Chains A and B, each alone.
Chain A
Amino acid sequence: MTSHKAETIRINGCDTEFLRGGKGPTLLFLHGAGGINGWAPYLDALAQGYDVIAPSHPGFGRSEDPDWLDSVSDIAFFYLDLMESLELRDVHLVGNSLGGWIASEIVIRSDEKIKSLTLASAAGINVVGVPMGDIFMWSNEEAARKIFYDQEIANQRIAAGETMDEEQKDVQLKNYFTTGKLSWNPRFHNPDLSKWLHRIKVPTMIIWGENDEIFPTAYGEAYNALIPGSELRIIPECGHLPHQEKLEEFLDAVNSNTSKN
C-alpha cells in the first residue's frame, strides 16, 4: 500500500477533508454518491503513477455541509477554488457518476488548470427515452446488486453494510441526503450542460460499464458524441463503478488518456 495522508483544507468557508498519496502528475479524483471510503484499492493503484488527491465534496463524508451548497454548479466552482488554493496545475481530472458530472461542469467553465478529463459512468446529461435506474427507490441491498455486475462483490458489500458502526451509518446517510439534494430534479443532470460540452478541449476518456443499471451505455455514447475528440471505452461484465469492479481496465483507460497530448 502506498503511503497517504488525510488532510483538511478550508475553501469558501467549508472545511473539506481529502486523502492524498502517491507521486507523479496530479490526479484529482471526484467521487460519486457513495463517497470516499478510505484509501481504497483504486486510489492506491492510481497512486502508483500519480499524486492522487481524493476529497469528499462539500456535504459528503466528513467535509462540512455549507449553507451555500445548492447545486452541482456550486461544487464545480468550489473545486476551481480548491485547485487554486492547493496551487494545482496540469491536473488529470477523474470523476465517477456524480463526480463525473462535477468534472464536466468544472472543465466547461475553465480548463486553465486541467490537463485531461476522465468520465467514468458520469451523471450530468439526460438521454430522452433511456430511463436511469432510480437509486432513490432502492434499498441498500437492491442498490448493491444493481451497482455491481459481479454478485459476489455485491454480497461482500451487503455484508459489510450490515456491520457498519454508528459513525459510518451517519456518513452514509449524509452522503445519501446530499446526493438527493443535488440530484432529485432534474434527475441527475443539468439540462444546460449538453449545450456547452463542446467547449471541452482537453483529452477526454469516457469509461462505461456495459452493465450499468443506473446510467445505461447510451449515456456514455451521448457524452462521447458531445465532447469533441473524446474516446469511449465500454467495459464488459461491469456495472456502475468500473474503478471498483474492473480496476485493471479502468487504469488502462485512465493511463492511455493521461499520456495523450
Chain B
Amino acid sequence: MQFSFFHLMPYSAVNLEAIKHTAWINFSNSNYDPKEGHKLYNRYLDELEFADELGFDGICVNEHHQTAYGIMPQPSLLAGALSRRTENAKICILGRALPLTENPLSIAEEYAMIDNVTGGRLIAGFVRGIGCEYHSYMVNPANSLERFHEAHDLILQAWTQPGPTAFEGKHYRFQYVNMWPRPYQEPHPPIWIPSQGSAETKDWASHPDRKYTMLMTFSPIKNVIRNMNAYAEKCEEYGYKCQPQQLGWALPLYVAETDEKAIEEAREHIQNFFNKFVLAPTEYRMPPGYSSINSYKMILENKMKFREQFLSIEMLMDNGMFICGSPSTVAEKLEEYQEAMGYGNLVIMGQFATLDHEHTKKSMQMFSEEVMPKLRHIGAPNVAAAE
C-alpha cells in the first residue's frame, strides 16, 4: 500500500458567516487577508514537509481558482517549493486542469522541470477542472472533454517524441513541439487521473497504452467500490490484470486516541468543509455542456438531493466520505474497504477546512505511526502480474 498526504490548502481564516450561497467564483477576494494567507501557505507547506518526514510515500497539491476552498491556483509553484525541501516523498500534483490553458505545453514544461529537479519524484495528475473553473477562466465548458484529450495527447507527444514535431489539433496547434527539458522519468512521469467515476474516464485510463491510476475523490463509498470494480473489469476486458496501484482512493481522514475523541475533534471542521467551503450553486458547478445532458440530469437529481441538506459528521462517516476514529477503527475500515475494492494507493486529506495545525499534525503522526504499519502489506504491487 502506498500512502499519500493530500492538501487542499483552504483559506481557513475565512469569516464563515460571509459565505452565503458560494465560496467560489464571485465570493469576493476582499474576504482574503494576505497576512493570514502568508501564514497559511507556510503552515500548509510545513504540514506537507512533515508528511514526508513521517514516511508518507507521496505529498500532494492541487489546483483550484478564485475560491476560499483552496488557495493553490498555480500548484506547480508549491510543488517546486517542496521539491528542494524534501528528499523522499513523491511530489504529486493532483492535478493540473488541462482544458483551462490555451497552451498545454506550459503544463508539460512545469511537470518536466519538477521531474528533473527532484530526479524523478513527480506524479503527474491531469484533470478537466470542475465546472466552477470554467466560469472563472471563461473556457467554454462545451469543449472541456475535447480539450482535455487533445491537451493530454499534446503533452505525451512533447514528453515522449524527440522534437521538433508538429501538433495539429482542433483546439491546439503548434509548429514546433520541442520541449527543453525532457522529463526525467522514462517513458514519462506516472499519470494519475482524479475522477468521480465517469465511464469514459475508466475506459480511457485503463487502456493498455495508458494504465493510468484512477484516483476516486469525494464520493460515497458505494460509488467508490462500484467504480474501482468497474475499472478492474475494464482491465480484464483489455486482457490484463489490474494492479492495485492503478486504483487510488482519496478522502478526508482523521485519527485520534479514541473514536469519541476523534469525532469530537473533527466534527466542526469536517462539517465546515462539506457545508461551507464546497458551497456553490448548481449553475456554478454545472455550466452548460460540462457534462452530457443525461449526466447533468442524473447528477442534478443525486447530488442536489444530497447536498441540499446539512451534512453532519455522522452522515459523512456513514456513507464513507470521511473516515474518523481511533487508529484501530481507522485501520479496520481501510482494510475492509481494501478487500472490497483492491486499491493500492491511499490518499488522505489530513487537513480539512478549519482544522488547526496542532490537530492536523497529531492526526498525521498517529496515522503514520499506528495505522500505516498495519496496512503496508496489503494492496502491494503484484510484481509477477506486472511483467
Contacts of A174 in B (CB 8 A): 293
Contacts of B25 in A (CB 8 A): 137
Contacts of B65 in A (CB 8 A): none
How would residues 153 to 188 of chain A score, 1 for a CB under 8 Å from any chain B CB and 0 otherwise? 000000000000000011001101101110011010
* Known interface pairs A169-B297, A174-B293, A180-B288; A137-B140 also in contact (CB < 8 Å): no
- In the complex, the answer to whether B293 meets A139 with C-beta atoms within 8 Å is no
Say yes or no: is B135 at the interface (Cβ < 8 Å to chain A): yes
Contacts of B135 in A (CB 8 A): 136-137
- In the complex, the answer to whether B283 meets A170 with C-beta atoms within 8 Å is no
- In the complex, the answer to whether B283 meets A173 with C-beta atoms within 8 Å is no
- Residue of A137, A176, A180 near B284 (CB, 8 A) is A137
A174 to B293 CA separation, bound complex (whole angstroms):
7
Say yes or no: is B141 at the interface (Cβ < 8 Å to chain A): yes
A180 to B293 CA separation, bound complex (whole angstroms):
13
Q: Give the interface residue-count category, chain B.
A: 10 to 19
Contacts of B375 in A (CB 8 A): none
In the complex, how many angstroms separate the beta carbon of A65 from the nearest chain B beta carbon? 10
CB contacts between A and B, total, < 8 Å = 47
- In the complex, the answer to whether A136 meets B297 with C-beta atoms within 8 Å is no
Say yes or no: is B310 at the interface (Cβ < 8 Å to chain A): no
Say yes or no: is A138 at the interface (Cβ < 8 Å to chain B): yes
Q: Which A residues from 128 to 165 make CB contacts under 8 A with B? A: 136-139
A176 to B138 CA separation, bound complex (whole angstroms):
17
User: Residues of A within 8 Å of B, CB-based: how many?
Assistant: 16
How would residues 153 to 191 of chain B score, 1 for a CB under 8 Å from any chain A CB and 0 otherwise? 000000000000000000000000000000000000000
- In the complex, the answer to whether A180 meets B141 with C-beta atoms within 8 Å is yes
How would residues 258 to 296 of chain B score, 1 for a CB under 8 Å from any chain A CB and 0 otherwise? 000000000000000000000001111001110001001
In the complex, how many angstroms separate the beta carbon of B219 from the nearest chain A beta carbon? 24
A211 to B332 CA separation, bound complex (whole angstroms):
62
- Residue of B26, B282, B284, B289 near A177 (CB, 8 A) is B289
A136 to B142 CA separation, bound complex (whole angstroms):
13
- In the complex, the answer to whether A173 meets B297 with C-beta atoms within 8 Å is yes
Contacts of A173 in B (CB 8 A): 293, 296-297
Closest B residue to A169 by beta carbon equals B297
A180 to B286 CA separation, bound complex (whole angstroms):
12
How would residues 129 to 142 of chain B score, 1 for a CB under 8 Å from any chain A CB and 0 otherwise? 00000110011111
- In the complex, the answer to whether B283 meets A137 with C-beta atoms within 8 Å is yes
- In the complex, the answer to whether B283 meets A138 with C-beta atoms within 8 Å is yes
A173 to B139 CA separation, bound complex (whole angstroms):
20
- In the complex, the answer to whether B142 meets A177 with C-beta atoms within 8 Å is yes
In the complex, how many angstroms separate the beta carbon of B145 from the nearest chain A beta carbon? 13
In the complex, which of the residues A136, A170, A181, A184 has the most CB atoms of chain B within 10 Å of its own CB atom?
A184
* Known interface pairs A177-B289, A179-B288; A184-B142 also in contact (CB < 8 Å): yes
Closest A residue to B25 by beta carbon equals A137
Closest A residue to B170 by beta carbon equals A70
Closest B residue to A134 by beta carbon equals B135
In the complex, how many angstroms separate the beta carbon of A161 from the nearest chain B beta carbon? 14
* Known interface pairs A137-B283, A138-B283; A177-B288 also in contact (CB < 8 Å): yes
Interface positions of A (Cβ within 8 A of B): 136-139, 169-170, 173-174, 176-177, 179-181, 184-185, 187
Interface positions of B (Cβ within 8 A of A): 25-26, 134-135, 138-142, 281-284, 287-289, 293, 296-297
